[in-house]
Structure 1
């Protein structure tokens, strides 16, 4: 994930700050209230979550763009697990500088025409394990595959594990998510929307454990890193609005929404940006990256730093959102 410099250092920063504060306050008030927690018919399994995280982070080599063999081994692991549950599972191969990289795709509810994309990248930045960034997102896909099997769905759901999200390929046409989004557009596939699962395992209850690009936002969201965030732009589209409503209605975990104009730097710093570029309704589900997790892109981003119980609640919320969408 690449989520920094969220605001532009220009004279209009005060206006942007005031606007974001208003948006945050509106979203906070709209999401308030005490409602019962929805019960998932197939809850996320914390033991399986831990097992997948171990498999993804305890590899012989780091899963970065230089280690093609390791990326292929991870892609094989994902495909093997997807294949147990999906209606169909395939590699989407593509070439960069003469080397072959792979997205891994599995599908559910293939009898439906309109589809939803839930995606996460499996590569890391440099020589580190990338437990939160982004083994957590890929693990969510692996658990969702198990949970979605045999569910009655109103949409086709494609779970997509991408490669090459991280530098030096971020914000280029070599990103796996760009390749996938372009394929959808080129083939006129009917896409309802997309959600990028980007760092969902780091939570802290201590005071001052949550930072913000603008300090004023702590007035609304508080200073504890105990929530998950749905990041979206203005005019987000029907899918994002409906998915966000269902996610919050599940009451699995404390959830906040951050909405900002597309030009505000940072809100597009993950794979959802490529779906925006092709005109699709898309959002990011995140623990806010380095605004909370100081292990971001460091060798200290390890399994031991994660809150697996809260992470399973995020996965449950995604599952319930997908199965309740009309």
Structure 2
């Protein structure tokens, strides 16, 4: 344990030094876009995803498809080009829903969130909150129509949850592999993984290692940007955008995947295929005790803070250079 603590201290020191010594960001200094996120809309998105006839898990394909169809309809309503990435697992068909913005030959920026759940629960924070964020960011693109040379892909993944987590059957693995196989350049990927649960109570935030309590808050009132150790640039870009574009408190960490939780979402598959990726998260089970429980319901979310997270990520995306 002592060796692990020493390693974590060294990691944090290196990250801090690199941030000071290399303060290069790809976020513009100014933005004229006024980003207004509708809390009623994002709440409605969460409610819609949480009220399928059965839990939207891999066993209940009809309910999973109902959620996927809702996402597709919302992307279409926004006015974006939309496609389905259909793949087969053990003789059953599943699908990622993808919407596009920007020139077809542009370097890719992927924004993704999984829409399936683990077991028989509603999955409001995990991960209807992330999907609601994905939909709202897409709406903001269509409202403001930012000029860009990038090709943005808004991807709603299926099969992120067990028993498919860390397998080639994850929807995000299928998507990342397809980009790699086609030789498509990917600038960055952002995974929206549980962005709706917050608390102002002291000691409401936990960490995978006790030493992290020396560097991070005890209140679960911030959003985290999580990146791979040695890949701090994209983490700093997203963190910078979140801070400039919203009122939410933002913390970040770049650490090895061996630290619990660092690679616990769809971004891990983009790392595996050699792409830069980060996770934007409320830190999942390190604060939200409703994780993978029937108590993960829409009324437990803070839609105001969730809206601020969405504003911040949108601002970062609008201002990438």
TM-score above 0.5, yes or no: yes
Partner of 1:270: 265
Q: Using the alignment, how far apart are the partners of 1:241 and 1:287 within structure 2? A: 17
* TM superposition shift of 1:219: 2.2
Q: Using the alignment, how far apart are the partners of 1:27 and 1:207 within structure 2? A: 31
What do the CA deviations read for 1:87-123 (whole angstroms, capped 9, x no partner)? 3101000000000000000001135511100000000
- How do 1:20-99 residues align onto structure 2 when only pairs under 5 Å count? 20-22=11-13, 41-99=34-92
* TM superposition shift of 1:12: 3.0
Is the 2:225–2:280 contact (alpha carbons within 8 Å) kept by the matching residues of 1?
Answer: yes
Q: Using the alignment, how far apart are the partners of 1:82 and 1:263 within structure 2? A: 36
* TM superposition shift of 1:44: 1.2
Q: Using the alignment, how far apart are the partners of 1:229 and 1:41 within structure 2? A: 23
Partner of 2:9: 18
- How do 1:285-300 residues align onto structure 2 when only pairs under 5 Å count? 285-300=280-295
Is the 1:154–1:323 contact (alpha carbons within 8 Å) kept by the matching residues of 2?
Answer: no
Q: Using the alignment, how far apart are the partners of 2:297 and 2:246 within structure 1? A: 28
* TM superposition shift of 1:216: 2.3
* TM superposition shift of 1:39: 7.8
Q: Does 1:109 align with 2:102?
A: yes
Q: Using the alignment, how far apart are the partners of 1:11 and 1:207 within structure 2? A: 26
- 1:194 is aligned, of 189, 209, 220, to 189
* TM superposition shift of 1:205: 0.4
Is the 2:113–2:156 contact (alpha carbons within 8 Å) kept by the matching residues of 1?
Answer: yes
Is the 2:225–2:235 contact (alpha carbons within 8 Å) kept by the matching residues of 1?
Answer: no
- Matched residues, number: 313
Partner of 2:228: 233
* TM superposition shift of 1:153: 2.5
Q: Does 1:177 align with 2:172?
A: yes
Is the 1:238–1:281 contact (alpha carbons within 8 Å) kept by the matching residues of 2?
Answer: no
* TM superposition shift of 1:37: 11
Question: Which SS does the other structure have where 2:78 is aligned?
Answer: coil
Q: Using the alignment, how far apart are the partners of 2:256 and 2:53 within structure 1? A: 42
TM-score between the two structures when normalised by the length of structure 2: 0.91
Q: Using the alignment, how far apart are the partners of 1:181 and 1:193 within structure 2? A: 11
Q: Using the alignment, how far apart are the partners of 1:29 and 1:92 within structure 2? A: 41
Q: Using the alignment, how far apart are the partners of 1:20 and 1:278 within structure 2? A: 24
Q: Using the alignment, how far apart are the partners of 1:120 and 1:221 within structure 2? A: 25
Q: Using the alignment, how far apart are the partners of 2:15 and 2:185 within structure 1? A: 32
- How do 1:119-138 residues align onto structure 2 when only pairs under 5 Å count? 119-138=112-131
Say what the alpha-carbon RMSD is for the aligned residues. 2.3
Of 55-64 and 165-174, more deviation after overlay is shown by: 55-64
Question: Which SS does the other structure have where 1:221 is aligned?
Answer: coil
What do the CA deviations read for 1:148-190 (whole angstroms, capped 9, x no partner)? 1123234111100000000000000000000000000000112
Question: Which SS does the other structure have where 2:275 is aligned?
Answer: coil
Is the 1:228–1:254 contact (alpha carbons within 8 Å) kept by the matching residues of 2?
Answer: yes
TM-score between the two structures when normalised by the length of structure 1: 0.90
Question: Which SS does the other structure have where 2:237 is aligned?
Answer: helix
Q: Using the alignment, how far apart are the partners of 2:236 and 2:217 within structure 1? A: 24
Partner of 1:5: none
* TM superposition shift of 1:217: 1.6
